[in-house]
Structure 1
Amino acid sequence: MSATNLRDRYLQDSVNTASPAKLLTMLYDRLILDLQHGEDALNKDDRELANDKLNHAQEIVLELRISLNVEAWDGAPGLANLYGFILTELIGANISRSPERVAGCRKLIEPLRDAWREAAVAAAAG
């Protein structure tokens, strides 16, 4: 088995065995990574890479939005609206080739990632 196949299998096993809280933090981590790479690609005028990374980021935001239970807690509708705003901004950033708009999305997402990570650690601690 090649190194690439082993890595892919490891990643798939990690996803399959992760708790819901861990999956959420993994999605946020990957979203931020995609935003960083997309922003860098736009700054380097690498349109193809930027498009790839920003489209993947949009897919993650869409997954976060779809999986959000808006009736589970009072803040959920606001979070759903924020996801909608970020999705719109990412589409606009991709079309207009704006690294600034991508950076703005990343600045909104990073505190959310940190908060979810803290919540996951607190929940795991009991």
Structure 2
Amino acid sequence: MTTLLQARQRAQYTRDAVLSASPARLLTMLYDRLLLDLRRAEAAQLEQRWAAASTELLHAQDIITELSASLRSDLWDGADGLRGIYTYVHTALITANVRRDVERTREAIALLAPLQESWHIAADAVPAPAAPAPAAGGWSVG
């Protein structure tokens, strides 16, 4: 019973963190999960745990699809280039899954890890939103 309660509390914490995250933080959270999935998939492939590897690779594909869909070519001239990388990686992950090819998984990690680091650096450079000023008497409304 305790582990079920802990799992529910962890899930609620994660939901709250996602709902309250800035767009920059959401992006880094997606990249963190993406690389976690890929490293788990790589480990599962090396251990020939194909079902586990497939689950991780499919989740990684979902994240890549979300990242690609969020790109705005009208707002950023680098969007199409990044979309090309996402398309390539998505195809590599399908191949990694269907052919049980750990080298394709490693290739995806090698392509995405520098992007993950770059997005973290960029997110850290964005100033945090200012906290609302307290209302009269030192109390905030809300």
Using structure 2 for the length normalisation, give the TM-score.
0.86
Deviation at 1:125, TM superposition (A): 6.3
Structure-to-structure mapping, 1:34-73, within 5 angstroms: 34-73=37-76
Q: Distance in 1 between matches of 2:121 and 2:92?
A: 26
How many pairs are equivalent?
126
- Report the equivalent of 1:114: 117
State percent identity of aligned pairs. 44
Q: Distance in 2 between matches of 1:59 and 1:25?
A: 16
1:2 aligns with 2:5: yes
The structure whose RCO (Cα within 8 Å, separation 6+) is larger is 1
Change beyond 3 A, Cα 1:124–1:87: same
Which stretches in structure 2 are left out of the alignment for 5+ residues? 130-142
- Report the equivalent of 1:11: 14
Deviation at 1:98, TM superposition (A): 0.7
Q: Distance in 2 between matches of 1:106 and 1:44?
A: 18
Task: Please list the CA deviations of residues 66-105 of structure 1 after superposition, one character each: whole Å capped at 9, or x if unmatched.
Answer: 1111222221100011100000000011001011110110
More helix by percentage = 1
| Bigger mean CA offset, 71-80 vs 44-53 | 71-80
Change beyond 3 A, Cα 1:125–1:15: closer
SS in 2 for 1:2: helix
SS in 2 for 1:97: coil
Q: Distance in 1 between matches of 2:128 and 2:55?
A: 37
- Report the equivalent of 1:124: 127
Deviation at 1:38, TM superposition (A): 0.3
Between structure 1 and structure 2, the one with the greater Rg is: 2
Q: Distance in 1 between matches of 2:47 and 2:95?
A: 18
CA RMSD of aligned residues (A): 1.3
1:88 aligns with 2:91: yes
Deviation at 1:124, TM superposition (A): 2.2
